[in-house]
Structure 1
Amino acid sequence: MHATAGSLALFVFPFVLLLCFLLYWAGARHAYQTRPVAAAGDPDAYDWHFFVPCRDEETVVGTTVSRLRGDFPAGHVWVIDDDSDDATGAIVTAHAEADPYVHLVQRRRPHARTGKGAALNSAYDALDKFLPTDADRSRVIVCVLDADGRLAPDALTTVSGPAGFGDPQTGGVQVTVRMRNADDRTPLPGHGRLRNALARLLVRVQDMEFTVSNTGMQLLRNRTGSAGLGGNGQFTRLAALDRIAAAERRPWQRGALLEDYELGLHMILSGYQVRHIADTWVSQEGLPHLRRLLTQRTRWAQGNLQCVRYAPRVIASRHFRARGVLETLYTFLQPVAHLVSLVVTGVLLGLLLVDEDRAAVLEQTADIWPLPAGLAILSIGPFVLWGPVYRRMRAAGRSRLTGLLWGLALWLYAYHLFPVSARAFVRLLRGRTGWAKTRRNAEPVTAGTAVAIEH
């Protein structure tokens, strides 16, 4: 009887996962298609401070600082140099000497290179000392950008509106992320046509992932009250950071591999709302190298697993509605679900291989081919259907067939979640939380870029 119950559980589990996925996808798709347009606000009603954490970013930091100062002249730019081995500090120092709105927060080892959260906390401390004691901290907005991040020119106007900081209960706003090099014909200069074609496709599906799939999920989270913050294009109200710091000793947690999402959790737990606004954007470089992508996503999966420890606080919090709790737990457990799916698949294949009647089993499976065919359609279709949505939004000049093929590529791309979840789980069991900096596409390989960050 126990064996029968176990076999039944193995058989039912994939169907349960598929049902959860379909419900979540349907909610995300509906939220995306029915989203209201975010009304504009008045950015002059706020004081803007851009935090740009850097380590060995000499190839991009000068351009980023210049663009921020040119596009948003009223904003202060705080570059956190996390003990770079290259000319990052010197480049920012030159900008700071010529422009009082540019500030260098210099960190040195052994206190440096202890994680992005620690670097952001040092900028938070520097900003606290910089502001006058009578500053209205509810009107001071901090924006965290990657060293290669580029904000849309209308970003501040959009996040200042009623969907963003125009609502005094809003503590954080995340804007949509785009891949700036999605249309780059040669993402790997010096390599052949095939490698460049594969690299183009890899960057394209990352752009699809962020601009439609992830945005749909975030818009669904707006409705459940559980929207998350990202590491690029993250806006936070200083008063909200102060409240988190009072409760947690610091706004960003030391050692967190997903410090952005963790900050969003703390913000909601402290009573503020987090919102995602899809009507403006921040761009960054998509990764054309599969190995770098898998390393990055393993870090994200491991950070997701680390956040599971917040489950009891989320469940008990009066600031999370029931549907927000369910959505957050679903997000927490995604890497676990991927790992269990791998194990279940392996067990089922193993049982089939040792089954003396496997020929009969295969014959019976062939007799019920509509069932696996229907399951395949339900599994693949949601990804494919994002393709035409993406084409209309980001590449209207391309054919409808191209949009469908991009959607099919998004489905294949999603399989990377299984190996990265397994690797993240192994790293967590081994207590490994160190990470080498992900190199920029234009950055040469140097000794400095391979140094791991241990928390």
Structure 2
Amino acid sequence: MSAIAQGIAIFLMISFIAYIVSIVVPYFRRKPNPAGDSTEFEWHFLIPCRDEAAVIGNTIDRVTGTFPNTHVWVIDDDSEDATSAIVQSYAERNSFVHLVQRRLPNARTGKGDALNAAYHAMLRTLGPEVDPDRLIVCVVDADGELASNVLEQAAGPDVFGNPKVGAAQTSVWMKNRDDREPLGPGKPIRNFYTRGLLRMQDIEFRTVIAAMQSLREKTSSVGLGGNGQFTRLSVLQKIAEEAGEPWHGALLEDYELGVHVLLAGYENRHILESYVAQEALTSTRRLLTQRTRWAQGNIQCIKYLPEIVKSKHFSNSGVVESCYYLILPFLQMIGLLAWIVFAVLFFINLASGGGLSFDFTNIGWVLLMSLIFGILPFAMWGPIYKIRCEPKASWWQAIGWSIGMWLYVYYMYICQVRAFFRIFSGRNGWLKTKRNAELHLGGPVAKDT
């Protein structure tokens, strides 16, 4: 039994190392995409909101100030705060700002439903002269800050300048990554920990996830995210015709939309040359809750595997990459169980007087395997982050980030266990993740329901 557990664990670790290599190489070899003329397209921003009074005003100011003459559709999902009133005040002063009001019992049913409501509201305002191939819909979080060059990059010849491209996802940065006192003054130890937590989230998005997307560009299987997501209106219409609505009910509705775009025969792109900045979470509890939701949404998307495998629009490499990504939560659980079985058998053998008789008990071999499979694949992102994202940082900082990433990534095992537990117990509802600016306010903080 122990040999089987060891074999499974080794196979999974080798597969993981191969995947790490396959994402790092295209990440470093990727060539920049050229910019285009954003005036050749019409741009509509969708901003879903649930109790976002703390941030929505600034977001509307930023979008309308940075991208004048673009339409902003703010969906108020029956907020209990002043979100609706704030948006309405902007809409009364600016004809490009629109409030999409949802009310219970037809509200708070998921982000996908909120986006669908804005999609239908937008369609009702469009005249016959609008070309759906040249109208681009962008989804932005209520606290999202798009870089000023994002529309030019999205309009480039390799993105929406290519008629084969149906959707694109910009890279994501953490806007509070350099905050020295994220919890306020007088809390040196807690601020030290929280600074590290903020930085790890930035490293995760700007290196690990960006590298995954670089591989997906090669395999034509780029995934979409929930912030900084761009899609042609014509593609959304085609998906709606075939599947009922553009966005659907998975907790990972963004990745789900990306799959639908690919199944519809279009391509997705990753925009690494621009970004959307969002808040990194300052609370471990809120981070685990958010990532558990993402993990659960990932597991829900496993239902698309048969369609992906059978689709003529997915390349062979795209099928392999998509299948690996979708079954990864199950592989992680198998690997976790294999190590638990190995550890239990090891201690049972030790307690029964069998001594250290396993093949892996040579301490040098154990340390080497731990370094290769358990530390390097995670610690390497610290130096990569310094080289690609923060070249002015010192190598001592990079070493610290390496240690931090090695420890940080183990959150995924906690989240995977929680996600599977939620699925098996039939729990699919969530409250929104509370913004850092809202922590002084009352109400629930990212509690699942």
TM-score (norm 2): 0.96
Which one of the candidate residues 82, 85, 107 is aligned to 2:80?
A: 85
Specify the alignment match of 1:142 in structure 2. 137
Q: Give the ranges of 4+ consecutive aligned residues of structure 1 lying more than 4 Å apart after TM superposition.
A: 445-454
Q: Aligned partners of 1:42, 1:358: CA distance in 2, in Å? A: 72
Which one of the candidate residues 212, 221, 228 is aligned to 1:217?
A: 212
Specify the alignment match of 1:95 in structure 2. 90
Q: Tell me the CA shift for residue 175 of structure 1.
A: 0.6
Residues 64-91 of structure 1 deviation map (CA, whole Å, 9 limit, x = unaligned): 0010000000211000000000000111
Specify the alignment match of 2:190 in structure 1. 195
Q: Map 1:44-193; keep pairs closer than 5 Å.
A: 44-189=39-184, 192-193=187-188
Q: Tell me the CA shift for residue 342 of structure 1.
A: 2.1
Q: Tell me the CA shift for residue 408 of structure 1.
A: 2.1
1:268 aligned onto 2:262: yes
1:406 aligned onto 2:385: no
Which one of the candidate residues 4, 12, 24 is aligned to 1:9?
A: 4
Q: Aligned partners of 1:176, 1:367: CA distance in 2, in Å? A: 44
Specify the alignment match of 2:246 in structure 1. 251
Q: Structure 2: any 5+ residue segments left out of the alignment?
A: none
Which one of the candidate residues 16, 22, 27 is aligned to 1:21?
A: 16
Task: Tell me how large the CA RMSD over aligned residues is.
Answer: 1.6
Contact 1:143–1:233 (Cα < 8 Å) also in 2: yes
Greater CA deviation, 368-377 or 67-76?
368-377
1:361 aligned onto 2:357: yes
Contact 2:194–2:282 (Cα < 8 Å) also in 1: yes
Structure 1 pair 181–358 and aligned structure 2 pair: CA distance change class (3 A): farther
Q: Aligned partners of 1:451, 1:232: CA distance in 2, in Å? A: 18
Three-state SS of the structure 1 residue aligned to 2:98 is strand
Q: Map 1:24-43; keep pairs closer than 5 Å.
A: 24-43=19-38
Q: Aligned partners of 1:357, 1:249: CA distance in 2, in Å? A: 64
Three-state SS of the structure 1 residue aligned to 2:380 is helix
Q: Tell me the CA shift for residue 394 of structure 1.
A: 3.3
Specify the alignment match of 2:424 in structure 1. 429
Contact 2:286–2:446 (Cα < 8 Å) also in 1: no
Letter in 1 for 2:307: R
Contact 1:114–1:453 (Cα < 8 Å) also in 2: no
Q: Aligned partners of 1:292, 1:358: CA distance in 2, in Å? A: 45
Specify the alignment match of 1:343 in structure 2. 337
1:373 aligned onto 2:403: no
Residues 189-240 of structure 1 deviation map (CA, whole Å, 9 limit, x = unaligned): 2561111100000010000000011000011001111110000000001101
Letter in 2 for 1:299: R
Q: Tell me the CA shift for residue 373 of structure 1.
A: 1.4
Structure 1 pair 340–427 and aligned structure 2 pair: CA distance change class (3 A): same
Q: Tell me the CA shift for residue 448 of structure 1.
A: 5.0
Sequence identity of aligned pairs in percent? 45
Three-state SS of the structure 2 residue aligned to 1:436 is coil
TM-score (norm 1): 0.95
Q: Tell me the CA shift for residue 447 of structure 1.
A: 5.5
Letter in 2 for 1:316: K
Letter in 2 for 1:92: V
Q: Aligned partners of 1:367, 1:59: CA distance in 2, in Å? A: 57
Which one of the candidate residues 289, 310, 314 is aligned to 1:316?
A: 310
Q: Tell me the CA shift for residue 381 of structure 1.
A: 1.4
Contact 1:116–1:259 (Cα < 8 Å) also in 2: yes
Three-state SS of the structure 2 residue aligned to 1:383 is helix
Which one of the candidate residues 277, 280, 299 is aligned to 1:283?
A: 277
Structure 1 pair 294–76 and aligned structure 2 pair: CA distance change class (3 A): same
Aligned residues: 447
Q: Aligned partners of 1:400, 1:365: CA distance in 2, in Å? A: 34
Residues 29-67 of structure 1 deviation map (CA, whole Å, 9 limit, x = unaligned): 111101111101110000000000001000100000010
Q: Tell me the CA shift for residue 22 of structure 1.
A: 1.2
Q: Aligned partners of 2:255, 2:446: CA distance in 1, in Å? A: 25
Three-state SS of the structure 2 residue aligned to 1:280 is strand
Three-state SS of the structure 2 residue aligned to 1:138 is coil
Contact 1:56–1:449 (Cα < 8 Å) also in 2: no
Letter in 1 for 2:362: D
Residues 425-449 of structure 1 deviation map (CA, whole Å, 9 limit, x = unaligned): 0100111001121100010465654
Residues 122-159 of structure 1 deviation map (CA, whole Å, 9 limit, x = unaligned): 00001110111231000000000000000000000011
Residues 137-184 of structure 1 deviation map (CA, whole Å, 9 limit, x = unaligned): 000000000000000000000111022101101011001000000000
Q: Aligned partners of 2:443, 2:98: CA distance in 1, in Å? A: 24
Contact 1:252–1:263 (Cα < 8 Å) also in 2: yes
Q: Structure 1: any 5+ residue segments left out of the alignment?
A: 1-5
1:419 aligned onto 2:414: yes
Q: Aligned partners of 1:28, 1:307: CA distance in 2, in Å? A: 22
Contact 1:434–1:452 (Cα < 8 Å) also in 2: no
1:385 aligned onto 2:380: yes
Q: Aligned partners of 1:434, 1:389: CA distance in 2, in Å? A: 37
Letter in 2 for 1:367: N
